[in-house]
Amino acid sequence: MNKSIIKLENVWKVYKMGDTDVKALQGLGLDIKEGEFVAIMGPSGSGKSTAVNMIGCLDVPTKGKIFLDGHDISKLSESELAQIRGRKIGFIFQQFNLIPTMTALENVMLPMIFQGVDENKRIARAIQLLELVDLGERINHKPTELSGGQQQRVAIARALANNPEVIIADEPTGNLDSKTGTNVLEFLEKLHRKEGKTIVMVTHDANLSKIAERTEFLKDGRIVKSLSNHR
């Protein structure tokens, strides 16, 4: 069996809202192996977004442990977290989160700047990635000059910029029409099958979760059911 790449042990996240404690995660346990494709499903308010923040090392737990490649990251500072995140994890967001004043090329180059990659290498890699997602003709276009599907493909190219081991896709087809959404899912599946990427996809759509190898169902901040999707 492949080794764990991300492991959450009894993870709690409690937010203070005035005098009230809001328990977004309540003892979440999750083990994601290298090269797996895992879907996380759950209704609104189940803790999906908070779970993504934990899996993606965007936040630290109130209590519990998070291991990335065997290292406990729950005690790291924000700057240490940012460095690990930049190297190991690529994010694809539902809202695309592209910078509107930058071209597609500049958006894809951005994560590499934070990792200190040489400018010529950044440009070459960004062009290669945009060609990979069939946007070679659009490298100098800004997000407003691109369709929703094209923007999502720029976001995928950006997620791959530092060749991360893990791709986290948060409702990656939420803002796309069904045909474009299918293309995005096929691309994620290809990254998993051909490149061996570990993919964690958060979705509320049961049909989407079928492309994953297993689905974890989240309710009230903890996993209530796991389902293996035999393909």
Nearest Cα residue to 174 out of 205, 144, 133, 153: 205
Is 172 or 39 the better-scoring residue by pLDDT?
39
At 3-43, the pLDDT tens digits run 999 999 999 999 999 999 999 999 999 999 999 999 999 88
pLDDT band of residue 49 (cuts 50, 70, 90) is: confident
What is the share, in percent, of the chain residues with pLDDT greater than 70?
99
Number of CB atoms found within 10 A of residue 122's CB: 20
Q: Compute the average pLDDT of residues 114-130.
A: 93
151, two tokens: 């923007």
Strands across the sheet containing 20-33: 20-33, 4-17, 63-68, 71-72
Q: Could you tell me the pTM of the whole model?
A: 0.88
CATH number corresponding to 4-228: 3.40.50.300
Q: What are phi and psi of 221, to 5 degrees?
A: 75, 15
pLDDT of 208 over the 80 cut: no
pLDDT band of residue 204 (cuts 50, 70, 90) is: confident
77, two tokens: 């500072």
Tell me how far apart the alpha carbons of residues 140 and 2 are, in angstroms, rounded to a whole number.
40
161, two tokens: 């910029």
pLDDT of 1 over the 80 cut: no
170, two tokens: 């948060």
pLDDT at 45: 86
Tell me how far apart the alpha carbons of residues 86 and 56 are, in angstroms, rounded to a whole number.
10
Q: Compute the average pLDDT of residues 202-208.
A: 82
Highest average pLDDT, of 82-86, 112-116, 135-139, 193-197, comes from 135-139
At 130-162, the pLDDT tens digits run 998 889 999 999 999 999 889 989 999 999 999
pLDDT at 57: 86
pLDDT of 96 over the 60 cut: yes
pLDDT of 231 over the 60 cut: no
Strand partners of residue 11: 28
